[in-house]
Structure 1
Amino acid sequence: MNAMSRLALQAQQIAHTNRDGRPVVRLGLIVTLFYRDGHTQQSKQRIDECFMRFYEEFRPHLRGQFFKRARSFSPAGFTRCRKQVLDSGPEEVFQWSIDSAITANEAADYRMSVMNTPERQNDNDCSCLKMVLPWAYLAEPEGLRRYEEWLQYLCSQVGAEHGYGGLACTLPMQLDAWTPYEFHYAQLYRGLMVDTQPQFNTLRLFDHIKGVSWQTILGQRFIKRLGGSDILRSQLSDRSDVTFRAYTSGLIIRIGTYPDLAPKKDGAAPESYIRVNKAIRPVRVVETGSLHCYSPDGVVFNKENSARWYARFDQRAPARLKAGQPCSVSGYWFSSARVNSRQLFEKGDAMPEFSHLAPSATHWFWAGEVD
């Protein structure tokens, strides 16, 4: 099964409708970016340009708009909201979105949204821009190329500090009743970004990033903290499916040609996601908080399981091995049966035994990856 066929099947499994037949859970293709100086006139002008480009390309799909309140979409209403954003003062906070949903109880498959930060919070908080497209956009002729053009354009427009692109559940604006579905599918698919409320985590994501995704965006501030572009590239140079692209103020790291939802039923996480996660982990958020607010309608993310979600691509120590068993992971192993036994093994190598112990009594323990 090729990548698009596999995603089509997974998208069907994730999709849900309500009693009225309206879609309330969709698999969406997203770009989420965190940036600074959202209070400035230049930033607002650039956001206006992003919305205008989205409007021009996806106008036939647009049905709804939110600015201070939910409203139906019209060209005149769009023009009024643009003016209000551009005329807003440096201490004003605005939340603006245009999308394909007819009502606030329907999940949109096209959306552009932004929430800015006032000047008084510019030194400890960041603004958030998000774009949503249907997952099947990637299956269209030139879909991948056009998506990556959008990604690079948006990163450069806002001077993205960091962010990500990939697959996520899209829910209605009135999302409280449906966040348990996002929680449920995040337990089944490692590669699914939990991203229905990114604007509520901006304080934690000022000095840290959310983590690895299909497309991981790193601004220069974070690249410097990771040792620089050359160090980052060298750490991943042996992964032919990991590619780097530059934008005006940073790098975009892509894993594979298309996103991988990485179903947990398939076993271990994809190796390249593990490797990119390891490379960027020093700047990943530590105080994770909760990915969801409280919901009365079912189990959602809390502080404990949110921390586990952030660590979903962390490589855990392999299980101990007995002498004679094949090495399960390439790297260094040691045995408690002999002093200074640490040595390098390749995956598949037979673990050695010692003459003074039976093989079943000789255990080898993981000591770390290749230096």
Structure 2
Amino acid sequence: MNAVASWMEQGKAFEFELPDGTPVIRLGLIVTLYFKEGYTAAKKRAVVNCFERFYDEFASVLKSQVYERSKKLTRTTFDASRDKLLSSTPNSQYEWCVSSATGVTDVGETSLFAMNTFELHGDKIRSVIKLTLPWSLLAEANGAARFLQWLGFLCESIEPEHGYAGPSILQPYDRPGYLEIETTLAQQFLGVEPDNEAGGLTRQLLGCVKGMNWCTVLSTALVEQLGGAQQLQASLVDAPEVNLLPFNAGLILQAGDLPALIPAGSEIPQAYTVVNALIRPIRCADIDAILCTQGTPFFDRQVTRRWQTRLDLDRPEPAPLTRVGGHQPCPQTGDWQRWECTDIRHHFVEGELMPVLDGDTPSQTLWYWSAECAR
């Protein structure tokens, strides 16, 4: 079995359907870019240009869109959303998604999403654009090159402050019920980006990056913070598998010719550790939660920090988690209690899925390490 065939087989571990066959989880490829001044006419025109090209290339598989509400995608409805976006005022926020999904409750493997900011927010929040493409694209002739072309086009068009591209877990537009699955998978595969709440980080990733993936996007300003393009190039003399891809407003650091899923416990590709080490000085150290819905953190501050440092070669043995949600792997063998910290204890083995109690959803069930409750 060649490498691509092996990756296609691994992708099956990410396939989840509802009992009626509706697909809700898939492994895919993403590009997520954070950019400034999304309220300006120039940036809105740049976003529309991206959507126009996306529609032209993928119209045969696109079925739905969300702009103010979910609706069937046709050329007429697409043009209407485009015109609304272009005519919106600087203090009007848009959220536009065009997708191969049939609606908001099934996963679309091919999609483009964008959300802007208000002028009154100034430089205190970022806008975001996100592309998703099927994992199976890598099995196609020149599939990786096609993906990288899209990455380059989006970077040239949007001129982002920073971003990332590579494997990620795709979910429906209306996704809260599946974030616990994403949390589990992202901890089992170190090369997979937990990213279904990308819009929730627009207030936190200001002048700093979330982390690295197969491709890491840096603006010229961030490149200069790392010593400049020449210094970055010089630091890669012993890592020829890392490519520096310039665009009009920065650099893309590509860690190898193809992305890696990196199952937990397996060897980490050198290209990933090298890029990770390069961007550590500008990695955001104060993210509250990568994944959070309705106030419930799936990747809370502690889990987020563990994920961000997963590729650090000098990372000390992480402290065991003292809180874990239902349907998530038990972090350590021992006694656990419900959030009320009652006297009733339950013994679980490391790796065992924590149960969900009757009447609770997975996000409502929180287990605490018994020693933590005793404090």
Q: Does TM, scored on the shorter chain, surpass 0.5? A: yes
Q: Which residue of 1 aligns with 2:60?
A: 60
Instruction: Report the CA distance between 1:11 and its aligned residue.
Output: 0.7
Amino acid at match of 2:6: R
Q: Which residue of 1 aligns with 2:304?
A: 306
Q: Which residue of 1 aligns with 2:138?
A: 138
SS of residue matched to 2:292? coil
Return the alpha-carbon distance in structure 1 between the equivalents of residues 215 and 26 of structure 2. Answer: 20
Return the alpha-carbon distance in structure 2 between the equivalents of residues 147 and 281 of structure 1. Answer: 26
Q: Which residue of 1 aligns with 2:201?
A: 201
Q: Which residue of 1 aligns with 2:358?
A: none
Amino acid at match of 1:180: E
Deviations for 1:196-218, whole angstroms, at most 9, x for unmatched residues?
01111011112111111101111
1:179 and 1:55, CA in 2 relative to 1: closer, same or farther beyond 3 A? same
Q: Which residue of 1 aligns with 2:291?
A: 292
Instruction: Report the CA distance between 1:260 and its aligned residue.
Output: 0.1
Instruction: Report the CA distance between 1:122 and its aligned residue.
Output: 2.7
Return the alpha-carbon distance in structure 1 between the equivalents of residues 143 and 7 of structure 2. Answer: 15
Q: Which runs of 5+ in 2 are unaligned?
A: 318-375
Contact 1:17 1:23 in 2 (8 A): yes
Deviations for 1:251-276, whole angstroms, at most 9, x for unmatched residues?
1111111100111132x422221111
Return the alpha-carbon distance in structure 1 between the equivalents of residues 102 and 20 of structure 2. Answer: 13
Return the alpha-carbon distance in structure 2 between the equivalents of residues 318 and 87 of structure 1. Answer: 52
Instruction: Report the CA distance between 1:299 and its aligned residue.
Output: 8.6
Deviations for 1:304-343, whole angstroms, at most 9, x for unmatched residues?
1111111111112689xxxxxxxxxxxxxxxxxxxxxxxx
SS of residue matched to 1:48? helix
Contact 1:177 1:295 in 2 (8 A): no
Return the alpha-carbon distance in structure 2 between the equivalents of residues 137 and 15 of structure 1. Answer: 16
SS of residue matched to 2:230? helix
Amino acid at match of 2:304: S
Does residue 184 of structure 2 align to residue 184 of structure 1? yes
Identity %: 32
Return the alpha-carbon distance in structure 1 between the equivalents of residues 2 and 222 of structure 2. Answer: 35
Q: Which residue of 1 aligns with 2:17?
A: 17
Q: Which residue of 2 aligns with 1:227?
A: 227
Return the alpha-carbon distance in structure 1 between the equivalents of residues 174 and 315 of structure 2. Answer: 41
Larger Rg: 1
| Structure 1 consecutive aligned stretches of length 4 or more whose deviation exceeds 4 Å | none
Amino acid at match of 1:57: E
SS of residue matched to 1:265? coil
Contact 2:23 2:106 in 1 (8 A): yes
Contact 1:289 1:303 in 2 (8 A): yes
Q: Which residue of 1 aligns with 2:172?
A: 172
Q: Which runs of 5+ in 1 are unaligned?
A: 320-371
Q: CA RMSD in A?
A: 1.6
SS of residue matched to 1:102? coil
Deviations for 1:273-323, whole angstroms, at most 9, x for unmatched residues?
111111110001110110111479x9922121111111111112689xxxx
Return the alpha-carbon distance in structure 2 between the equivalents of residues 317 and 77 of structure 1. Answer: 50
Amino acid at match of 1:307: R
1:48 and 1:259, CA in 2 relative to 1: closer, same or farther beyond 3 A? same
Return the alpha-carbon distance in structure 1 between the equivalents of residues 111 and 183 of structure 2. Answer: 21
TM-score by length of 2: 0.82
Return the alpha-carbon distance in structure 1 between the equivalents of residues 202 and 281 of structure 2. Answer: 18
Return the alpha-carbon distance in structure 1 between the equivalents of residues 146 and 187 of structure 2. Answer: 30
Return the alpha-carbon distance in structure 2 between the equivalents of residues 36 and 29 of structure 1. Answer: 24
Return the alpha-carbon distance in structure 2 between the equivalents of residues 307 and 125 of structure 1. Answer: 21
Return the alpha-carbon distance in structure 1 between the equivalents of residues 119 and 315 of structure 2. Answer: 45
Q: Which residue of 2 aligns with 1:210?
A: 210
Return the alpha-carbon distance in structure 2 between the equivalents of residues 142 and 3 of structure 1. Answer: 15
1:4-43 equivalences under 5 Å are 4-43=4-43
Q: Which residue of 1 aligns with 2:278?
A: 279
Instruction: Report the CA distance between 1:146 and its aligned residue.
Output: 1.5
Return the alpha-carbon distance in structure 2 between the equivalents of residues 69 and 311 of structure 1. Answer: 38
Match of 2:313 among 315, 318, 321: 315
Amino acid at match of 2:254: R
Amino acid at match of 1:36: K
Deviations for 1:174-226, whole angstroms, at most 9, x for unmatched residues?
11110111111111100001110111101111211111110111110100111
1:37-116 equivalences under 5 Å are 37-116=37-116
Return the alpha-carbon distance in structure 2 between the equivalents of residues 69 and 279 of structure 1. Answer: 42
Q: For this pair of structures, how many residues does the alignment match?
A: 317
